[in-house]
Amino acid sequence: MAISIKDLTPGFAGEVSGIDITQPLTPAQVAELEAGMDRYGVLVYHDQRFTDEQQKAFSLNFGPLEHTAGGNVTKAADRRLDPHMADVSNLGVDHKPLGRDDRRRLFNLGNQLWHSDSSFRAIPAKYSLLSGRIVVDQGGNTEFADMRAAYDALDARTKAEIEDLICEHSLIYSRGTLGFTELSEDEKRMFTPVRQRLVRTHPVTGRKSLYLSSHIGTIVGWPMPEARAFIRDLTEHATQKQFTYSHKWRQYDLVMWDNRVTMHRVRRFDESQVRDMRRTTVAGDSVTVEQLAA
Amino acid sequence: MSKPNDQRLGSVEMADISNLTASGNLRERDDNRRMYALGNRLWHSDASFRATGAIYSLLSARVVPVSGGDTEFADMRAAYDALDDRTKGEIEDLVTEHSIAFSRAQLGFAEYGPGNEDKIRPVRHRLVRTHPVTGRKSLYLSAHIGSIVGWPVPEARAFIRDLTEHATQAPFTYVHKWRVNDLVMWDNRTTMHRARAFRDLEEVCDLRRTTIKGTGLTAEQVPALAAE
């Protein structure tokens, strides 16, 4: 059976059928899926009953995996999953929903802000692959926004204004937005801001996109309040309905997206319900801009 | 939060919504008052950081920029009506904490200086309020909200963001493009508003606001905390 991809939204989110991605793939199949990622940005596969090992094996087709260290405040002993699996569930090691005041839960609420995964790393992520192992029936959608279309829709003056702007990204900023400010010295060090271009160019398609993320705290050379007000306006522009796709999860969906051309966020759901989502992340291969010397 | 000597308009009852210094020049990029005024670009209800809030605001346009600088309004009655029943039930008795410090912190502004403690002390408001004349319910939202009483702060903020996004969708909003000598008045009990960006380092925008003080509380205050 041949791979086919149908539009969920025109040119942005595609639904893939005709392939079992839990099994080893041929180089031709991988190339076809990667070409699909370049064309769309978000691909959805249904009924993929992954184990963690199978999810990692599928992800490795697209590059080396990113290590999850440095991306959260969960201590090693409290981790449910191995260090290449990002635990995007609302569960503790006992597989029960985290308590309302649990620090990990409050930190993870930051996923409700529009962001691009690992934009707080000097070399940010290429793809994210999210597997819905246990999903909730109300709420908990993941929404995606097309940063290429959002860039294209800017007026010429704004495009020129932002062309060479550089932003500083850190988990400190996104969490600060929600009033999560109590970080240990180790955490603050771990979350030291990194620099990213605001306009980036996709290495394969050559298309420009807005590199936005809730992790942005300022623009280099700008007064911080002006930078933040401007980034808010750009984010509002970039997340308008016509640029977005809302994914309602079915169990065993696998959704993969290219963080270089998208933002995403999760919507609120009843957190007394179990929601077990597991993410693998394909590492990027380059910085978007020179970093400051440490 | 400008000091008396920095005030351009003679009367303390005229709120200066311009980008000018006391001597009438454009504010510099790093001017602290400019940083503070950027908070007006967040959706808010005037004076919701006061225990009694405000009734009407009346904004007069004396000089307007060539492009940008619109003021947008959102109808908090229509936004309330459009909520599903479960959400209405969930929020009916919620009480929020408002402070000018919360809205400014969203933009990374924290320079208040001494003597302003009273102005940044949080006050409490109901999230759902009822108009005293029409009896209609509305969402009392504002960028000044920093928490919901009894909720963990990040959960409260994420929820308030969702409600704000809902309440400011295009069907609930009006965009006002200013002409010189327009006066726009609005009821802060049933609306939010915000200013949009303009080339404020190059063009003058001189708007002047009078504000009708609120008369009642929407929620009981914590005695030691309430600012007048």
pLDDT tens digits, one per residue of B106-133: 999 887 767 777 778 999 999 999 999 9
Inter-residue contact A265 to A111 (CB < 8 Å): yes
- Nearest C-alpha of chain A: how many angstroms from B161? 9
- Look at residue B116 and tell me if it is in a domain: yes
Structure-block tokens of residue A287: 């910085």
Domain that holds residue A79: 4-281
Q: Which of B35, B154, B197 sits opposite A109 (nearest CB)?
A: B154
Q: Do B106 and A228 touch (CB under 8 A)?
A: yes
CATH number for the domain including B89? 3.60.130.10
- Look at residue B194 and tell me if it is in a domain: yes
Residue A263's identity, in one-letter code, is M
CA distance A126 to A226: 30
- Model ipTM? 0.95
pLDDT in tens, chain A (294 residues): 799 999 999 999 999 999 999 999 999 999 999 999 999 999 999 999 999 999 999 999 999 999 988 888 988 888 999 999 999 999 999 999 999 999 999 999 999 999 999 999 999 999 999 999 999 999 999 999 999 999 999 999 999 999 999 999 999 999 999 999 999 999 999 999 999 999 999 999 999 999 999 999 999 999 999 999 999 999 999 999 999 999 999 999 999 999 999 999 999 999 999 999 999 999 999 999 988 875
Domain that holds residue B80: 4-212
- Look at residue B62 and tell me if it is in a domain: yes
- Look at residue B115 and tell me if it is in a domain: yes
- Look at residue A73 and tell me if it is in a domain: yes
Q: Do B108 and A224 touch (CB under 8 A)?
A: yes
Q: Which of A106, A224, A232 sits opposite B155 (nearest CB)?
A: A106
Q: H or E segment at B35?
A: helix B32-37
Own/partner pairs, B23-26, CB within 8 angstroms, 24+ separation: B26/B200, B26/B201, B26/B202, B26/B204
Integer Rg of chain A from CA? 18
Structure-block tokens of residue B203: 């063009």
Q: For residue A179, what is the nearest residue in chain B, using CA coordinates?
A: B154
- Look at residue A75 and tell me if it is in a domain: yes
User: In chain B, positions 193-222, which contact chain A (CB-CB < 8 Å)?
Assistant: 196-197
Q: For residue B37, what is the nearest residue in chain A, using CA coordinates?
A: A225
With beta carbons under 8 A apart, name residues in chain B contacting A179: 146-147, 153-154, 156-157
- Look at residue B223 and tell me if it is in a domain: no
Q: For residue B40, what is the nearest residue in chain A, using CA coordinates?
A: A229
With beta carbons under 8 A apart, name residues in chain B contacting A175: 154
Structure-block tokens of residue A124: 């940010």
With beta carbons under 8 A apart, name residues in chain A contacting B157: 177-179
CATH number for the domain including A196? 3.60.130.10
Provide the 10 A C-beta neighbour count for residue B81.
14
- Nearest C-alpha of chain A: how many angstroms from B126? 20
Q: Does B112 touch chain A (CB under 8 A)?
A: no
Inter-residue contact B76 to B173 (CB < 8 Å): no
Mean pLDDT score, B53-57: 96
Q: Which of B107, B157, B159 sits opposite A225 (nearest CB)?
A: B107
Chain A residues interacting with chain B (CB cutoff of 8 angstroms): 100-101, 106-107, 109-110, 112-113, 175, 177-180, 217-218, 223-230, 232-233, 267-268
Confidence of residue B228 (pLDDT cuts 50, 70, 90): very low
User: In chain B, positions 6-35, which contact chain A (CB-CB < 8 Å)?
Assistant: 29-30, 34-35
- Nearest C-alpha of chain B: how many angstroms from A217? 8
- Look at residue A289 and tell me if it is in a domain: no
Mean pLDDT score, B18-33: 95
Q: Do B108 and A106 touch (CB under 8 A)?
A: no
Inter-residue contact A63 to A285 (CB < 8 Å): yes
- Nearest C-alpha of chain B: how many angstroms from A248? 18
Provide the 10 A C-beta neighbour count for residue A126.
22
Check pLDDT > 70 for residue B1: no
Check pLDDT > 60 for residue B193: yes
With beta carbons under 8 A apart, name residues in chain B contacting A229: 38, 41-42, 107, 197
- Look at residue B225 and tell me if it is in a domain: no
Q: Do B106 and A179 touch (CB under 8 A)?
A: no
Q: Which residues contact B15 (CB under 8 A, 6 or more apart)?
A: B208, B209, B210, B211
Specify the 3-state DSSP secondary structure of A33. Answer: helix
Q: How many residues does chain A have?
A: 294
- Look at residue B111 and tell me if it is in a domain: yes
User: In chain B, positions 127-156, which contact chain A (CB-CB < 8 Å)?
Assistant: 146-147, 152-156
- Look at residue B222 and tell me if it is in a domain: no
- Nearest C-alpha of chain A: how many angstroms from B132? 33
Instruction: Please state the domain count of chain B.
Output: 1
Structure-block tokens of residue B17: 């919504």
pLDDT at position B2 is 55
Q: Which of B29, B106, B158 sits opposite A109 (nearest CB)?
A: B158
Alpha helices in B52-175 (DSSP H): 76-81, 85-91, 100-106, 117-120, 153-167
Residue ranges with strand state E in chain A: 4-7, 13-17, 42-45, 86-87, 127-134, 142-146, 166-169, 194-197, 199-201, 208-210, 216-219, 244-247, 254-258, 262-266, 276-281
Instruction: Please state the domain count of chain A.
Output: 1
Check pLDDT > 70 for residue B225: no
pLDDT at position B9 is 84
With beta carbons under 8 A apart, name residues in chain A contacting B36: 225
Which of A109, A114, A232 to substitute to test the interface with B, most B CBs within 10 Å?
A: A109
